[in-house]
Chains A and B, each alone.
Chain A
Amino acid sequence: MKARVHITLKTSVLDPQGKAISHALGALGFSGVDDVRQGKYIELEIDETDPEKAHQNVQSMCERLLANPVIEDYAIELDG
């Protein structure tokens, strides 16, 4: 099955890259963008067929490597 992991900066953490993107959008004439936050998206193909086990497995991957809990949150989606 496929696991999709979205990694985002915690809301309490400043995101200078997001801010730079926001300014660049403004410079290109896109108005009405109040805030931009940049994150990471990771797709994983995993052998596990039991969604509960798959979720546990990916959660463990997030905690140990994919995300840094000091500054990042993660969200896991499974399909297939």
Chain B
Amino acid sequence: MKAAVIVFPGSNCDRDIAVSLETAMGAPPAMVWHGDADIPKVDLIVVPGGFSYGDYLRSGAMAAHSPVMGEVKARADKGVPVLGICNGFQILTECGLLPGILMRNASLKFICRDVYLRVESNDSLFTSAYGKDDVIRIPMAHHDGNYFSDEATIERLEDNGQVAFRYCDETGAITTDANPNGSLRNIAGIYNETKTVLGMMPHPERLAETLLGGTDGRPMFDGLVEALG
């Protein structure tokens, strides 16, 4: 598998995801600067976390229109898998690759802690190494992660099985108390219609090595390598 990581001014998880990918792939990913309109031929594109363009206007709004995103959209339309984490998820919604928007957390606080996620389905490139309904512990660190979309869109996501992860408690129960940011239906991550684009607010790359205190994020990267060769 070959991968590219897009780097914006203000990205700060690009190095972390590069390490996770390299561990899984055995070779480093290409780091692509946002001003480049070209991306090498790769099997996976990652839009990493951070604070691209200082979150000006709305989180992800500026990055969504940077030169490289036109190419990311074109590749995604051809079926190249795209993974957006945290700010990457915000960018993917702003550029229209995923529906809805990430609003300010309901508590208005920046929240940085581990949360539990329930794997809603494992029939995607990203989640094939997890079991359905697995409960995984993944760190979150964001101010704008409150997933919102209109009711018709939410129903469509549910009907098509496009909800990838939901915030849950340690036992996997989807409760209001386990919802850290007010997201509709505890949504922590969603797919596009073909499940080749995944956006998620929590950071699997931050718990992908024993040294970091956990490895629940690791199967995502191992599963991608397994699926994409």
Contact = CB atoms under 8 A, between A and B. Distances in A.
Interface of A: 12-14, 16-17, 20, 64-66, 68, 70-71
Interface residues of B, number: 19
Task: Pick the 9 closest A-B CB pairs, nearest first.
Answer: A70-B101, A16-B106, A16-B108, A71-B101, A68-B101, A20-B108, A68-B58, A70-B149, A16-B104
A68 B96 CA distance: 11
B41 interface: no
Nearest to B151: A12
Given A65-B65, A66-B57, A71-B101, A17 B108 contact: yes
Interface of B: 57-58, 61, 65, 93-94, 99-101, 103-108, 148-150, 182
Contacts of B57: 65-66
Nearest to B58: A68
B184 to A, nearest CB: 10
A12 B94 CA distance: 20
Contacts of A12: 150
Contacts of A20: 108
Nearest to B94: A68
Q: Interface residues of B: mostly helix, strand, loop or mixed?
A: loop
A13 B99 CA distance: 16
10 contacts: A12-B150, A13-B148, A14-B106, A20-B108, A64-B65, A70-B100, A70-B101, A70-B149, A70-B150, A71-B101
Contacts of A14: 106
A6 B10 CA distance: 27
A65 B150 contact: no
Contacts of B61: 65, 68
A65 B63 CA distance: 11
A14 B99 CA distance: 18
A65 B62 CA distance: 8
A13 B65 CA distance: 25
A71 B103 contact: yes
A70 B60 CA distance: 14
